[in-house]
Amino acid sequence: MEKGFEEGFVVAVADGVATVRVGRHAECSSCGACGAARQAVVEARDDIGAKAGDHVRFTVPEHSVVLGSLIVFAVPVALALVLGVCGALVEGGGTVANGTLGGLVGAAVGLAIGGGIVRWFDRRAAAQQPRIVEILSS
């Protein structure tokens, strides 16, 4: 897994997690995913004792944003669609038009399975949380 490095200023630290204010980059100008106009805030594990006001460098898993978006949005919708069609086909005897209830049940099952995958990914992603690796200045 590749990691990139970012820099920012610690805003607060609580229970080993630092809130770090990060200036936006050129890549951020067309995205807008975080909703921050000029600066984003990141929570990073603090194992080295950073304090509020410190300028720090932290690691960021490169794939986390794209993969996270794909899993959170696309997987549940795709599973709902596929299982909804399968449920409609099973109930409708091979035609989707006659299988309304089966389609609804299949879609609900697909969303539930997708939700489970999202929860699993969320637990796994917590281990991939950004981590402060260096205090550049206090």
Does the 3-61+129-137 domain belong in CATH 2.40.50.140? yes
Single-letter residue type at 23:
G
93-98: average pLDDT: 74
Domain limits, the chain: 3-61+129-137, 65-125
Mean pLDDT for 24-38 is 54
Q: Which two tokens stand for residue 32?
A: 């807008």
Is residue 111 pLDDT above 90, yes or no?
yes
In this prediction, residue 123 has a pLDDT band, given cuts at 50, 70 and 90, of: confident
Contact yes or no for 50/138 (Cβ under 8 A): no
pTM, full prediction? 0.53
- pLDDT average, residue stretch 124-135: 80
Two tokens at 16? Answer: 């080993």
CA-based radius of gyration for the chain: 21
Using CA atoms, how far apart are residues 92 and 104, in angstroms rounded to an integer? 12
